[in-house]
Amino acid sequence: MLFNNKLKCFLGLSALLSIAACSSMDADSSKDGNWPADFKTSEYSRINPDIANAQRKDSLAAAKKTAGCTVSTTDTSEDVRTFFSGDSNDVKTLYLDYAGLSVWPGYEQFHSGALYADFRVMVISNYHICKNTAAQDVAYLNGLPIDSALIARQYMLAGRIEGRAYRYCLSGETNVLQDTLQGELSSSGHVFSYLAHTYCLSAGNNQKYLIE
Amino acid sequence: MNLKILSIALLSFGLAFAQGGAVIGYYPYWAQYSQFTPKNVHFERVSELHYASLTPSADGSIALADETDAANFDSLVTASAAHYVPLVVVIGGPDAGDAFAAIAADESLRSAFVKNVSDWVDSRGLSGVELDWQNPAADNATGYQALVRALKSGLNGKTLGAAVYPASVEVYGDALNEADYVIVFVGDHMTTDSSTVRPNMSLDDVKSAMDIFASKGIAKSKLIPVIALSGKSFSGATGFGSAHQGPGSGNDGYIPYKDLMAKFDTPDYKVTFDETSSSELAVGNGEAIVFSGIPSVRAISVWIRDNGFGGVALYDVSEDHPEAIISLLVTAGQVLRPDVDYAPQKKK
C-alpha cells in the first residue's frame, strides 16, 4: 500500500510506452546490483506479459461482467467473427503483447475463421470484451493502470531466481539454452536458483539463452 | 439439500481439504493497528482464515483478546461467509498457559470451557476453533490430552485444530490425532541469541519440525507448518555466518514482508537467494535481513505437497503483499491450490 501510493502511475495512450515513462522508480534507467545494468522494465514486461496481465485481471473481469457475455472456443458468433476479422494489427497486438503467444500465425488464419476452435482463440478471448472490436480491446487494455515498479520488483524477488529472460537476445547470444541447465528443484527439494546467470529471449524461436 | 445446508457443507473444513492442500491465513487482532481490516483480505488466496484470538480465563470463560477489534471480527465473520471461506477462531496465545492448565486439570472447568467455546462458535456461525496452548509442560500432559478430547466431542462436528510446538512434542500424545489438523509452529531459528546470522525459517527447519510430529504417529495429512511473513533484521551483519549486534531496522527487528519492498527499491540493499538453505537474504545499510520470499515459500509448499502433508499456514495475512504477483499467499496457493484463479498464467 505504502509504495503503491507513492509509486503507482497510470497509463495514458500506451501501456508499454507508459511503463517506460511513468514509474517514479524510473524502471528503465540503469539499476543497482539487484537488476542487470541494462534492465528495462518495458522490455521485461513485454517478454513476460503475465506479470502486467495479473494487474489487469480484476479490471478486465469487471469489464467482461458488465458486458454480459463471454467468448468460448466453440463460439462462432457474429461477435467473434467481427472481432477476428477486424483490424489485424490490433488482433496481433492482443495475440503477442497481451496473450503472450509467441508465433503469429498470420492474418489469414484469423480472417478465415480457421482458428475459431483453437486454444489460441481461448487465450486471446481472455483479453476480449464482447462486442468490442480488437482496436477497442487494445485501447481498453492500454488504458488500464499498471504499476511498473511492481514489475521490476517481481524480477528482483522471483523472476531472476526463476530464470526469466529480461530482454531479447542480441546477435551472438543464442549459444547456451537455458533448458540445458539444472531443473527447478534438485532431488533434495531445495530450489535451484538461476540467480548466478541472466537470460535473454530469442525473438526467433522463443527460447531462453544464457547471457552471462 | 437446501441452500443453507449446502452453504454449511461448502464451509466445512473437510471438504476444503479434500480438494487439495490447505493455505491457511492468520488474521490477528493487532492488524487493526496497521490499518489492515477485513476489507483488505484477499479471500481467494486462502482456503481458511484463522482469527487470533480468544483468551481463556481460569474459570473457563472466554473473551476476545482485544475488544477494540470486535467490529472488525464481526466484519470478518460476514465477509468470510460471503466468500465461502471457513473462519476458525484461535483460543489461547502466549499468556494463556496458566488458564489452560487450570481448565484442563478440572473436569467441571473443562466442561464449562468447552460449552462456552461451542456456544460462542455456534452463535457466530464459525467453522471451528484452534487450540493454541503454547509450550505446555510435561505435567500438563494429562490435562492437555483431556482438553483436546473434550473439545473434539463438544464441538458438534466443527473443526478442531491444535497449534503445537516441537519442544512440547512429548506432552501431546496421541490426542493430536483427535484433531482435524495440527498446526506446527516451526518458530524463529534466527534470534538475537544466535551468535551469527542464519536463515530464520529454512526448508530444512520446516522439515525437521514436521518430522518430529510425523515420527510420533500423527497423520501427515493433518500436519501444517506455520511460515512467518516477517523478515528479521540484524544490525552489523554482512551475510550468513557473520556476527551481529542485535536487532536492526523495523519493529524490534521485525519487518513485514510487504514493507521490505520499500527498502529493496533503494540501491542500499543487495538481495540474494541462498540455494543451499533455500532462503532469502538482503544486506545493506549496516544490517542483514533474513526473510521468506517467493522462492523459499514455493520450495516449502512443493515439499509439503510432494510429501503428503496437509498444507501451509502463513502468519499473517496483513503482512503479505497485496499484489498477487509477489504475494506469498498466492505463491503457496499456486502450488497447493492450483485450480484457484489468482492471476493469468503465462502462455507460450
**Which grid cell sits at B38?**
477485513
pLDDT in tens, B177-189: 999 999 999 999 9
Residues A125 and A21 in one domain: yes
A157 touching chain B per CB within 8 A: yes
Number of domains in chain A: 2
pLDDT, position A19: 35
Instruction: Round to whole Å and give the CA distance between B219 and B212.
Output: 12
Cβ atoms within 10 Å of B154's Cβ, excluding its own: 17
Q: What is the pTM of this model?
A: 0.81
A160 compared with B341, residue with greater pLDDT: A160
Residues A181 and A151 in one domain: no
Residues A158 and A182 in one domain: no
Give the mutation candidate from B205, B261, B321 for the A interface (greatest A CB count, under 10 A).
B261
Residues A53 and A98 in one domain: yes
Residues A122 and A212 in one domain: no
Chain A hits for B298, Cβ within 8 Å: 191
Which residue among A154, A156, A190 places its CB closest to the CB of B299?
A190
A158–B346 C-beta distance less than 8 A: no
Domains of chain B plus CATH, in order, are: 3-229+292-336 (3.20.20.80)
Arithmetic mean of pLDDT, B310-338: 94
The b-or-e profile of B111-124 (16+ CB within 10 A means b, else e) is eebbebbbebbeee
Instruction: Kindly report the average pLDDT of chain A as a whole number.
Output: 74
B296–A51 C-beta distance less than 8 A: no
Residues A158 and A169 in one domain: no
CB A130 within 8 A of CB A64: yes
DSSP line for A22-56: H-TT-TTS---TTS-TT--HHHHHHH-HHHHHHHH
Question: At A1, which amino acid appears?
Answer: M
Residues A8 and A91 in one domain: yes
pLDDT of B346 > 70? The answer is no
pLDDT, position A118: 67
Residues A15 and A120 in one domain: yes
The sheet carrying A167-168 orders its strands as A167-168, A199-201, A208-210
pLDDT, position B19: 47
B7 compared with B164, residue with greater pLDDT: B164
Residues A140 and A212 in one domain: no
Contact residues, B window 202-231, toward A, CB-based 8 Å cutoff: 203, 207
CB A146 within 8 A of CB A154: no
Instruction: Round to whole Å and give the CA distance between A181 and A194.
Output: 9
- How far is the alpha carbon of A95 from chain B, nearest alpha carbon, in Å? 10
Q: Are strands A208-210 and B287-291 parallel, antiparallel or unpaired?
A: unpaired
Model confidence at A32, pLDDT cuts 50, 70, 90, reads low
Residues A23 and A118 in one domain: yes
pLDDT in tens, A91-144: 888 888 888 777 777 777 777 767 666 666 667 777 888 878 888 889 999 898
Residues A4 and A109 in one domain: yes
DSSP line for B237-263: --STT-B--SB-SSBTTEEEHHHHHHH
Q: Could you report the predicted ipTM of this complex, rounded to two decimals?
A: 0.77
Which residue among B303, B325, B344 places its CB closest to the CB of A189?
B303
Range of the domain at A191: 165-212
Residues A11 and A107 in one domain: yes
